[in-house]
Structures are given as C-alpha cells and as structure tokens.
Structure 1
Amino acid sequence: MGSNTALPPAPSHFPARPQFQGFQKPGGVEADVSNLEVYGHIPADIDGTFYRVMPDPQFPPFIENDPWFNGDGSISAFRLTQGRASYRQRYVRTEKFVREREARRALLGKYRNKFTDAVEFKIRTTANTNVVHFNGKLLALKEDAPPYAMDPETLETIGLETFKGQLPSLTFTAHPKFDPDTGEMICFGYEARGDGTPDVCYYRVAPDGTFLETVWLVSPVAAMIHDFAVTENWVVFPLIPQVCDLERMRRGGEHWEWSPETPFYIGILPRVGGRPEDVRWFRHPNCFPGHSSNAYEDEAGRIVFDLGLSEKNVFFWWPDKDGNAPSPETLHSQLTRITIDPRSEDLELTAAKNVKVLEGSNSEFYRVDDRFAMRKYRHSFFDMMDPSLGTNFPAIAPVLGGGYPLYNSLAHFDIETGETEVYFPGPTHMVQEPVFIPRKGSGEEGDGYLLALVNNYASMGSELHLLDTKDFTKVVAKILLPVRLRAGLHGNWVDAADVRK
C-alpha cells in the first residue's frame, strides 16, 4: 500500500473495539503537573523518577482491529522527592508520530507490517515498549528499530539513537540488561537484517556508549525474542514460537503467527568473546516464554533461568495458521525455573530434568532488586491475578476496555522460604508493572519500596501505589493523577543521583 498514491479514508473516531473503549480509550494527553495529591506519605529517602511508557495512538487507526500496543509511545515521568510527587507526559517524536501529525491522520498500517502502510517510512517504530536510562539519555524502545533518545528532564525527543553510528543491527531489544557492577549494557536485536530474517545481533555497550563487541547469530526460526537474560558468563535467548513469514506479510497478513509445531528454543552464547558458531540452541516442548525474572550460574556452573511460562499462546490475538487461539481467561503464566548445563551435549530440555515451577500463581511482569541482577537472588516482585481476592468484576467489566492482560494484585515471592506476600489494591482496581526502589543506605536485597501504576475503574483515573517491602501488604502512599493513563508495558526507576551520569 505504501507505494499507492491514494490513501485509505481517514477515520474520524476510534473503532468500537474493546482495545479502544473504557479505560483503554486513547487519551492523547501531554501534561505537566507540579504537585500531585498524596494520601499517606512518601518517605523522605525516596528521590528519583519513575519512567514508564504506554501505547497511546494520537489518531484513529485505519486498521480497525489494531492491537492495543500498536499505539504511539507516550512517556510518563513521575518525580518523587522530598515527600512530594510531580508528573510529566510527552509523546516520543518518532518519524511516524511527526508525519502523522503533519498529515492529521494515521498513516501506519498493521502491527509490524510495512506492506500495509499508507506511506513509506524509513523508521516505522512507535517506540512504545520500554524506556531506560543510559549514558545521560532516556532510550524509548520497541524491538523493531533503534531506540529514540530523549532528555530525562524535559522528555524532549533528541532523535534516533544509533550510538554515533556504531549500532550494527536494524533492530534493538526492548529489554536491555545492565550489569550492576560495571554499568555495561547488554543488548541484541532479532530480525536484525530485516523483517522475517533469522539473524540475531548480540552486542555489549560500555557505560560511555562505546560498543565493546558484536556477534552475529542465526536462530533456528524467525521468531520473536521479546525478553532475554544475562548471567556472569552467559547470554540466554528465549524464542517465543510466534513466527514471521515475509510472504504472509506481503499478502497483508500478520507479522506474527503462533506455531504449535515449533519448540521453545533457548539460545546460549558466551557473554564475552563468543563466536557465531558458539551459540547452542536448546529445545523445550512448545510453550510460551514470558518475561524474565533473573538468571545466574549455580555452584556447578549451570545456568539458572527464572521466567514466566505458559502452556498456551499468551498473544492470543495472533492465532495459529488455522485460526486457533486460547480464550484469554484460560491463560495462566507461572514463575518457572529452567536449569541448563551450557556445556551439555544433550540439547533436549524436559520437565523432569530441567524445569521447576517456583510460584504457581497466575503472574507476569517480574521485577527484582536490580543490584542483584545476573547474580543469585532471593526476591521477585510481580503482577498477579487471583480472582478470589475480591475483585468486583460485574461492576468494572463495562469499563475495563480490552486487549491487555488483567492483574488485580502485586506479589512478593521469597525464593528461599517459598512464601508469597500479596498486596490487593481494592475491588475496583488493576495493577500495572511495578518497579523496585532500594532503601537509601541499605545493601540488603529486596529492602526498599515497590511502586506501580494502578487503574481505578471506579474513578476512571490512574493512581500510583507505593509499598514498603518490610510491610508489603499495606500501602504507604497513594498518589492520584488528574488523568487516566492507558495500560502500559514497561518502565524503570532512576535515582536522582544517576539521572545525569
């Protein structure tokens, strides 16, 4: 479509689809609020900013059943200091955003299918999946393109970030990992030579932005690699069995299609000094790998990899070739440990030998104390769905909106004791991904605060809930926003001392 001169008609309103209605109705807001209402108290030792990103389309799509996360990247910055909270919201000025604002209409077509666009883009990303702080800049990330750099204070878009021309890949992960000791950023791009290519490009970046090494790999199948994991000596690439086919895209089809015949592949590569031929692809029976909690090496040198695992296709809006997809209410992701001997000649992973469910609740969006990333750890924090807690589904169902996963509580899992603590925000609330804030002056793992954006369906407004990990089930502060923020994807806490590092 991009080569056609005639554009499809521009819709004048958002489609009557769940992903554009209720709490999910696009907001289009850019804002500055200097003083947010606080109920309770924000501890004086908290001084930093919670950055998060949400997809929020500025114009109605001309693809009516557009998935909710195909919207423009919109960055929130929640500044907490001296017991007060302020808020700033800005769109990432991507090529797509700027050109659509000039045209006053949507120009991008289907999710990650350039053949359905109304015009041709050089960089068609929405930069809407994650936002991280690195080398003095914010990086707005989506795994189909390089990052967009932004000013951490003003949220003004600086431009496409290619690290002064060093970026070798056409793509960049939405989940870079940061070594807490060295400040090194470990990254990769999949479909690194373009749509439908099986190429994976792995790279390490020094804290000053210098690329330290690049390794080009070829995966067994052109599949999604949303998250990954890093240990002291290894990099772990979990392939989601959502596969890409360029010919399907040319016909106007979806970028991704669930493949029940494809194993869950896990690629293992030496973190430093690896060569293309060093990657080993372990195989696990077909399932859906979600987000990583953490990974490390045990005393025997085995990789211990903790992640969310579901037997069914979590991205149900991309069914298999026959149109089969699970009903959303049947999905159940569990925090699962996979143990791999990276030097083993046996590449087959089995439930009996390699897999153990750590926490059986329906959970996702795992976060850890980042000071213990890539190391043996004890504490994992995450979103959880437990209908027995008392959520008033009949009351909130008409305004939920749709297309995104629902979680009604925050959980803290102690891996050593096996105990799970739960914070339930209320019968008309759902939670988004949390971030962990270390307590000032404490080096104890997991000692600090958990902060999460919460949807209040009674008020149709957004709130920040702050918890103290020493008394996890009670809220320390509720911070009310004067706007409704759609479901987001990922975000990170940045201490004030690190903003300009």
Structure 2
Amino acid sequence: MSGHFRSQPPPTESQAFSKRPQFSGFMKPCRFEGEMQNLEVIKGKIPVELDGTFYRVMPDPHLPPRIENDAWFNGDGNIGAFRIKNGRCHFKQRYVRTEKLVREREAGCALMGGYRNKYTDAVAFKIRSTANTNIVYFNGRLLACKEDSPPYAIDPETLETIGLDDFDGQLPSLTFTAHPKLDPTTGEFICFGYEAKGDGTPDVCYFSIAPDGNFQDTVWLVAPVVAMIHDFAVTENWILFPMIPQTCDIDRMKAGGEHWQWNPDIPFYIGVIPRHGAKSSDVKWFRAPNAFPGHTANAYENADGNIVFDLPITPKNVFFWWPDKDGNAPDPESIASDFMRFTFDPRSSDLDLPKPEILLGEDCEFVRIDDRVATRPHSHTFLAIMDPKVGTNWPVMAPVMGGGHPPYNSFGHFDHQTKKVQKYSPGTMHLVQEPIFIPRSQDAPEGDGWLMGLINNYATMSSELHIVDTADFQKPCAIINLPIRLRAGLHGNWVDAQDIALSA
C-alpha cells in the first residue's frame, strides 16, 4: 500500500448519514434495491404505443461517506429501470457492483474518500468509479458511465453488473465520457476521455466506434488547461469539446483538497477537431469570456459550413460546492443559465468566439433533442426550466428539499422556428428531473412524441414518473406513482424494446 494512504484518518464508525443538505430531506440516500410490478397510474393512461425501458442512474451512497461534507456527486451508482409495455409500467432498481461498493460492503464502512481524490482513500483502489452519471445503450451493451474511468457493463434485463467494459481491449483511454453520442445516420458511437492518462493530465483522447463495436478514429490531444469536459457535441464533420473552468491540481489533491477548483481567470474554451482523419495538431481551442457551459443540446453545420452549437451558459459557478482558490462561490439561488447558440467558422484562424445568441433567456438545463436528428439541424429542444410564474411553494418545500441539486419546476419545449417555449408544470409542490424524449414512431415528424421524466413530489416525499404528449403539452397523459423516493439523478435514456431485441 502506498505511503500516502497511511496518513489518512480511519474510516468513520458512524452508521448514520450527516444531516447536511446533500444527505437530508429529499436528498437522503434512497438505498433501495428490488422490483415492483404494475406501478400505480394515478392519472391518465400510459400510451400503449410505448414499448421500451427508461433507464436512469442516481448517485446514491450505500453507506455514510468517509468525508462528512462529501459532494452529492460522489454517491454510488444506483440504476432504475422503468419497463413500459401494453400500457403498464414495472420498476426495477439495482446498484452497480463497482470495486468500491463491493469492498465497502465487505468492510462494513466507507473506504473511498473525496470526489476523484485517491489521496483521501483508506485503501488503494484499482478503479475508483462510482458508475453514477449516465446509463447508455450501444451494440447490445448497457453502460453505466462516470467520466473518470471505463464504463461498467450492465445486463439490460436483470440490471446485474457484468463488469468493467474496455470494449474488448480496444479502449485507449483511462477515462470514458459520461455523454457518448450515437450518430443516428451512421450508427457510430462517438466518445472521448479527458484526463485520459490519469489524474491531472491535460490529455484528451477522442475515439469513434463502428456499429459492430470496432474502433475507428483515435486522436490524442493536449488541452490548454486541465479542466472538466463533462459533455461534448458532434456534427457531421466536427467534434466540439466545451471546457468547464473547474481545474485540477495534483498538489492540492495530495494535501487533501478537492480535485476541482473554480478558476474565474481563464477563458471558456471550446476545442474543435475534424471528426474524421484528424491529427493531434488539427485541434483549435476557441475562446470566450469565462463561463460555465451546461449540457449540450446539439451541434450542426449550416449552409456556410459554420458550426451552430446550442447549450445553456451561465457566468457563475454551477458547482458552487467547489469554490475558487479564495473560497468564493455564488449563492446557489443566484445561478441561472440561459439557453444560448454559438455560430462560428471552425476553419477560422481567429480563435475568439463571436458573442452567442440568447435563444431562451430563462433559467434552464438538462437540454435534450429528438435524437433522430442529432448532428444535423434541429427544430425542437426539450429542457428542465425554472418558471417563476408557477408559484412553487418554496416556504413549505425548503425544509425538506435537501441540497446540491439544481431546482427546476417545469419541463419546457422550445420551438426553434417560432422561438416560443411551451411549459408543463406538475404542481406547486413539485420539482422536475431531467426529461427524455421518445418519438411517437420511427417515422414521426421531429419532436412528435412524448416527454418523460421523474418528478419530486415534496407533499408526499415520493417520486412520480410523468409522461407528457408533445401535441398537448400543458397536461400529463399519465402520472405513474412510485411508493418510494428517488433522490436527484443525473442522467438517463430511453431504450426501445426493438433495439434490445435486435442486439440479443
């Protein structure tokens, strides 16, 4: 065992979670594993056309963490699966059997330390992943992803953990994005890893995978700073890497500090490389004023060959629990992201980005499109949004909300042609999690289908799955009740039953 582990304090003996906001109220760890058949539909009817599974994953600590003020991002990956068929919904939930979870269950206490900081661990881990950020499906593989490690392969039916997945030995990077992209035209799986040669390294590795699972392009890049690249975007001919100004410093980590620290003194970078046949020297790091880029909606090329790139942007540090070097962090209630559009020439030698256009000047995040038009021009964006007109009952909700997660009270449907947004608000005692879009049929017009997402009901302290028809967006077509509370998740996706059948 390396010497730096010996100087750490012993694992906590507490069997109770801290009363800090990220572990209390609605954010108290759920820790449920099991299944429930025929969930109660308390309003409307589940569309009979729906046949598939909504997979989602949440950070959900299975034991009180070693560090009392641990970031809520550091919980163990707990996967929920909502299987919908013939107008009925069945639910199954199971933890990913990561090395961390298995060894901590054997020890009966937390062994892993702070978020992405191995120097605070009680023991040495081969792989520190919590597999808690996204759950995606490709080529017969259900992959539980966290961006600091390879993904874990999961059985799509039983949710049993198969094991770490290095794509049959082809994975070139030590890390793997939590937001891989699937090109709906070519079937390619497009991926990358940052800190790709280990903690604190500036290396970024881009790679694409053919529909049959064989790796194609692999390009190694060096970033201008060691910073977070949580999401990225893909066009027909270009790859875009927006960098969040949360930077890593190994010396700080060795001293017991955080992996990430907000840096207000560096630009907001977008790295751009050709999608096919690129070399390391082809990368361009475009710059904009310091800002926090949110999840990407989509990117495409217009008739002039310029890149059009849509995503939420805010000048403030969304991850306020990782402040700057002086301890400065914004008041969480003051953070708001506008939905913005960058349009720029990727061939330009001028690396200063033009000022973005504000598409929607309302606080929003978790943007999604109809994935059938990914990499090409899109006309519809779906998002989680904070609508002050809803009249959310903050005084009653505040004591039981818990903390860390961003509060959004509505789903939004933004029409890029009319520039108008429709909103679905589930109620004054409710907040929404990330929505997903499901097309009405394979050949339905773009944006015609259903929006689905988990809803936090603070009146009952339980969770609901809401389904909204995009043709009648003001009310739900079905509300499905869960007799349990599922804390804030990060990401999820719909997998059509036909796709799993074809891969079986």
Instruction: Name the TM tier (shorter chain).
Output: over 0.9
Corresponding position of 1:21: 24
| Number of equivalences | 498
1:3 Cα offset (Å): 4.1
Shift of residue 183, structure 1, vs aligned partner: 1.4
Secondary structure of 1:2's counterpart equals helix
Cα distance in 2 for partners of 1:412, 1:403 equals: 25
Preserved contact between residue 3 and residue 120 of structure 1 (Cα < 8 Å): no
The letter for the 2-side match of 1:333 is: S
Distance 1:339 1:6, change over 3 A: closer
The corresponding residue for 1:474 is 475
**Match 1:280 to one of 270, 284, 296:** 284
In 1: Cα distance, 2:442 partner to 2:119 partner: 53
Q: 1:37 to 1:245 in 2, by over 3 A?
A: same
**In 2: Cα distance, 1:484 partner to 1:277 partner:** 49
- Cα drift, residue 146 of structure 1: 0.2
Partner-residue secondary structure (3-state), 1:291: coil
Letter in 2 for 1:487: A
User: 1:6, CA displacement in angstroms?
Assistant: 7.0
Partner of 1:328: 332
Tell me how far apart the structure 1 counterparts of residues 483 and 158 of structure 2 sit (CA, whole Å): 20
Secondary structure in structure 2 of the residue aligned to 1:249: helix
Give the Cα separation in 2 of the matches to 1:321 and 1:212: 41
Partner Cα distance (2:402, 2:369) in 1: 29
> Matched residues in 1 for 2:309 and 2:60: separation?
33
Task: After TM superposition, list the pairs within 5 Å mapping 1:155-166 onto structure 2.
Answer: 155-166=159-170
Change (3 A) 1:263 1:180: same
C-alpha separation between the residues in 2 aligned to 1:246 and 1:177? Answer: 30
Map 1:82-481 to 2 at 5 A: 82-351=86-355, 355-440=356-441, 442-481=443-482
Contact 2:132 2:146 in 1 (8 A): yes
Structure 1 residue 86: Cα displacement: 0.3
Unaligned 5+ segments in structure 1 are: none
Q: Tell me the alpha carbon deviations over residues 425-472 of structure 1, each in whole angstroms, 9 at most, x when there is no partner.
A: 001000000110110254300000000000000000000000000011
Q: CA separation in 2, counterparts of 1:109 and 1:320?
A: 21
* Residue identity in the other structure for 2:17: F
Name the CA distance, whole Å, in 2 between partners of 1:202 and 1:281. 15
Contact (CA 8 Å) 1:11, 1:62: kept in 2 or not?
no
Q: Is the 8 A contact 1:188 1:202 kept in 2?
A: yes
Distance (whole Å) between structure 1 residues aligned to residue 8 and residue 344 of structure 2 = 53
Change in 2 beyond 3 A, CA 1:441/1:259: closer
- Note if contact 1:10-1:62 (Cα within 8 Å) is conserved in structure 2: no
Q: Quote how far apart the aligned CAs of 1:181 are.
A: 1.3
**8 Å CA contact retained: 2:8, 2:121:** no
Amino acid at match of 1:160: L
Shift of 1:5: 8.9
Alpha-carbon distance in structure 2 between the residues aligned to 1:442 and 1:422: 25
Instruction: Say which SS state the counterpart of residue 88 (structure 1) adopts.
Output: strand
TM-score, length-scaled by structure 1: 0.98
Letter in 2 for 1:10: E
Whether contact under 8 Å (1:4, 1:118) holds in the other structure is no
Alignment check: 8 A CA contact 1:53 1:491 kept: yes
Q: Matched residues in 1 for 2:72 and 2:8: separation?
A: 28
Distance 2:12 2:65 in 1: 10
Question: What is the match of residue 492 of structure 1?
Answer: 493
TM-score by length of 2: 0.98
Question: C-alpha separation between the residues in 2 aligned to 1:441 and 1:138?
Answer: 21
In the superposition, relative to structure 1, how do residues 6 and 417 fare at CA in structure 2: closer, same or farther (>3 Å)?
closer
Q: Residues 342 and 354 of structure 2 are in contact (CA less than 8 Å); yes or no, is this contact kept in structure 1?
A: no
Deviations 1:386-424 (A, max 9, x none): 222111111111110111111000000001100100001
Preserved CA contact (<8 Å) 1:385 1:408: yes
Q: Which amino acid aligns with 2:425?
A: F
Distance in 2 (CA, whole Å) between partners of 1:258 and 1:4 is: 27
